[in-house]
Amino acid sequence: MKYSEFYGEDRSSPPPLHLDKKQLRQKRIEDFVDYWLDELSEYYEIYEHTNDSWTIHTEDFGIVDMYPKSNKLLFRETNTWIDGAAHWMRQNLIPR
């Protein structure tokens, strides 16, 4: 959305800083594909599913399902969900 479409020609107010939920979820998928997928695929086997999720096979954590739209991970062996998937992956899956 253009600035003028949201506020008119009056530029005294800042543009909106938020995205609606649909835009935010789409951005999470794009960010995952653009920034994470290539790097993770260097270290792990990754499979894409038709529901915008990916399965990552790891030795340390077993099979992990990544859901970028909701920013969650599912650990299949323990059936445990984690919020904040991007932060967790940065800390635990990307070798330093």
| pLDDT confidence tier of residue 13, bands split at 50, 70 and 90 | low
- Residue ranges per structural domain of the chain: 18-92
* More confident: 96 or 32: 32
Task: Give the residue from 66, 67, 69, 65 showing the smallest Cα distance to 26.
Answer: 69
Alpha-carbon distance of 1 to 65, in angstroms, equals 33
Of 96, 39, 89, the C-alpha closest to 67 is 89
DSSP for the chain reads: --HHHHHTT--SSPPP----HHHHHHHHHHHIIIIIHHHHHHHSEEEE-TTS-EEEEETTTEEEEEETTTTEEEETTTTEEEE-HHHHHHHHTS--
pLDDT in tens, 33-90: 888 888 899 999 999 999 889 999 999 999 999 999 899 999 999 999 999 888 898 8
| Per-residue pLDDT at 45 | 94
Residue 95 is predicted with a pLDDT of 76
Q: What is the pTM of this model?
A: 0.72
Q: What is the band of 22 on the pLDDT scale with cuts at 50, 70, 90? A: confident
Q: With cut-offs at 50, 70 and 90, classify the pLDDT of residue 1.
A: very low
